């Protein structure tokens, strides 16, 4: 059996094992990817629900769950899940049965599909696309469809009002969110999430949030919009208990109800992961001496470095999720008109201004001759990272790499060459 440990992706690895044809290799690779992503979809949801209970308890001067599964109540999410499975799966008589039963699946599928494009470490991504970020935004925008269908098909006024509010809010906040996402993209010059994270390697000053003042403010604008598009408090108008019972969730119970929450926590993780990649350096620690890439270029060392990178990335994303939970339990809920005013009168103009500023920033740097904090131009860093990743793909060959070498940015790429020329002129 000739098993190579150095394959550029899982499908090639399975193909190198005797007795597996190319088709079955693809199927096996797909199964492994889906199983891993399913774990990343389900586990954070369970952990964040437990965190939410503990944090809300502490903020409200309570203890939160303490008994289930030992000292800290860490099995509480599992107990909740078992309870929800046992509940009767019912649909109200006034509802549109087919759409009522289908709506939770649309929401879950929309937030699960976004995980396909989310890289967890260098090359550890199910599908690496040049349009990865665009596709994540497109798929997250499908979630609103499930919400509308859930509210409409419930046959209840509370649900209809809740879903109308929710849909109006999610559709409006998508606009400033998409513009805010473009700010680091302008600085990075790529829509590929892996490339964007890779060019922030090195010190903390390389993170795109510190690239210019516009990306710094853009991070906070993005985080506000992301919180709102995940329908989290203070923007959780659709579930405003005092006004609307439970919004579009009013008629749901059991597993279908929990699917909505699974999707909510999963999309919280997605938007926070995107924030970590776009602004906070992705899987890089931020201290040049501690970069796990220093471990060496052997296959095992690269694997270990990627493992550390994944832990760092998940820690960053989880920290942002923790901030969302913290904000939820400390801020009062806004009114619906205040929510729409915040979005349309403040966040849209702010994000447009930041976007224009981010476009003009390279011009300002060259005209005013601002100090660049001892940092290399981004085009140069992109070039370096693409060269190193190409080298590693062809020579060292790290195992478990999911990105085929041709998907990396080529060193002879015309855009990078043009960028370098431009940077050279600027200097």
Partner 1 sequence: MSAEQIHSGLFALFAIIACGAAIAVVMSQNIVRMAFWLVMSLGATAGLFFLLDADFVGATQLLVYVGGTVVLLIFGVMLTASGPYIRIRMSPAEGVLAGGIGILFLAMVYSTVGAVNWENVSSAASPSGLGAGVSEGFNASSQGNTTRPLGLAFIGLRPDRDLGADIHSPLSTGYLLPFEIVSVHLLVVLIGAAYLARAKRRSDTVEE
Q: Which residues bind partner 1 (CB under 8 A)?
A: 21-24, 26-27, 94, 96, 98-99, 102, 129-131, 134-135, 137-139, 141-142, 144-145, 148-149, 152-153, 155, 160, 164, 167, 171, 191-192, 404, 406-407, 413-415
Q: Give the residue with the Cβ less far from partner 1, 325 or 393.
A: 393
How many CB atoms are closer than 10 A to CB 97? 12
From the CB of residue 257, how many other CB atoms can be counted at a distance below 10 Å? 18
Q: How far is the CB of 243 from partner 1 (least distance, A)?
A: 19
Using N-to-C axis directions, what is the helix angle for 254-278 and 143-153, rounded to 10°? 160
**159 or 321: whose CB is closer to partner 1?**
159
Q: Looking at the chain, how many residues does it have?
A: 427
Q: Classify the phi-psi angles of 400: left when phi > 0, otherwise alpha if psi is within -120 to 50, otherwise beta.
A: left
Q: Give whichever of 217 and 266 is closer to partner 1, judged by the CB atom.
A: 266
Encode burial over 66-75: b for 16+ CB neighbours within 10 A, e otherwise: eeeeeeebeb
Which of 83, 157 has the CB closer to partner 1? 157
Shortest spacing between CB 407 and partner 1, in angstroms: 4
Contacts of residue 245, Cβ cutoff 8 Å, sequence gap at least 6: 158
Q: Which of 187-212 are b and which e, b meaning 16 or more Cβ less than 10 Å from the residue's Cβ?
A: bbbbbbbbbbbbbbbbbeebbbbbbb
26 vs 308 by CB, closer to partner 1? 26
- Judged by beta carbon, residue 135 or residue 240, the one nearer partner 1 is 135
Q: Give the single-character DSSP code of 335.
A: P
Token digits of residue 135 = 């596709």
CB of residue 22 to partner 1, shortest distance in Å: 5
CA-to-CA distance for 157 and 229, rounded, in angstroms? 23
Q: How far is the CB of 379 from partner 1 (least distance, A)?
A: 15
Query: Backbone phi, then psi, for 281, in 5-degree steps?
Result: 80, 10
CB of 125 to partner 1, least distance (A): 13
Q: Which is nearer to partner 1, 82 or 98 (CB)?
A: 98
Least Å from the CB of residue 107 to partner 1? 13
What SS3 class is residue 124? strand
CB within 8 Å of 383: residues ≥ 6 apart: 411, 416, 420
CB of 421 to partner 1, least distance (A): 14
Alpha-carbon distance 66 to 62, whole Å? 10
Burial 220-241 (b: 16+ CB within 10 A, else e): ebbbbbbbbbbbbbbbbbbbbe
Q: Find the shortest distance in angstroms from Cβ 130 to partner 1.
A: 4
- If the CB atoms of residues 75 and 359 are measured against partner 1, the closer one turns out to be 359
What end-to-end distance do the CA atoms of the chain give, in Å?
A: 55
CB of 377 to partner 1, least distance (A): 20
Closest CB to partner 1 among residues 219, 248: 248
118: nearest Cα among 205, 196, 172? 196
């Amino acid at each position: 059996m000739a098993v190579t440990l150095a394959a550029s992706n899982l499908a090639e690895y399975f193909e190198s094992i005797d007795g597996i044809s190319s088709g079955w290799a693809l199927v096996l690779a797909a199964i492994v990817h889906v199983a891993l992503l399913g774990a990343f979809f389900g586990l954070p949801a369970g952990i964040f629900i437990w965190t939410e209970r503990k944090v809300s308890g502490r903020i409200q001067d309570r203890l939160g769950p303490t008994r289930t599964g030992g000292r800290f109540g860490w099995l509480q999410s599992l107990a909740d899940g078992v309870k929800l499975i046992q509940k009767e799966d019912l649909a109200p008589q006034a509802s549109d049965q087919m759409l009522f039963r289908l709506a939770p699946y649309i929401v879950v599928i929309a937030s699960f599909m976004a995980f396909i494009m989310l890289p967890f470490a260098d090359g550890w991504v199910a599908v690496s696309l040049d349009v990865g970020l665009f596709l994540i935004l497109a798929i997250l925008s499908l979630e609103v469809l499930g919400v509308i269908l859930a509210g409409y098909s419930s046959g209840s006024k509370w649900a209809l009002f809740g879903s109308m509010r929710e849909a109006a809010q999610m559709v409006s906040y998508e606009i400033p969110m998409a513009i805010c996402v473009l700010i680091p993209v302008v600085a990075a010059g790529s829509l590929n999430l892996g490339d964007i994270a890779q060019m922030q390697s090195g010190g903390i000053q390389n993170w795109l949030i510190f690239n210019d003042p516009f990306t710094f403010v853009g991070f906070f604008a993005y985080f506000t919009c992301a919180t709102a598009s995940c329908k989290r408090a203070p923007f959780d108008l659709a579930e405003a208990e005092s006004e609307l019972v439970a919004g579009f969730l009013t008629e749901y119970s059991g597993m279908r109800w929990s699917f909505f929450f699974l999707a909510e926590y999963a999309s919280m993780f997605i938007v926070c992961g995107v924030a970590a990649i776009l602004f906070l350096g992705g899987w890089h620690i931020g201290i040049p001496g501690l970069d796990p890439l220093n471990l060496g270029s052997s296959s095992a060392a690269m694997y270990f470095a990627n493992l550390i990178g994944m832990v760092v990335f998940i820690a960053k994303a989880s920290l942002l999720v923790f901030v969302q939970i913290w904000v939820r339990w400390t801020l009062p809920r806004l009114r619906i008109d205040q929510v729409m005013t915040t979005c349309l009168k403040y966040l849209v103009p702010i994000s447009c201004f930041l976007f224009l500023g981010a476009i003009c920033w390279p011009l300002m740097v060259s005209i005013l001759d601002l100090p660049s904090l001892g940092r290399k131009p981004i085009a140069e860093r992109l070039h370096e990272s693409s060269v190193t990743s190409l080298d590693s793909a062809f020579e060292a060959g790290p195992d478990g790499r999911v990105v085929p070498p041709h998907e990396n940015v080529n060193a002879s790429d015309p855009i990078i060459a043009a960028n370098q020329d431009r940077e050279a002129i600027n200097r």
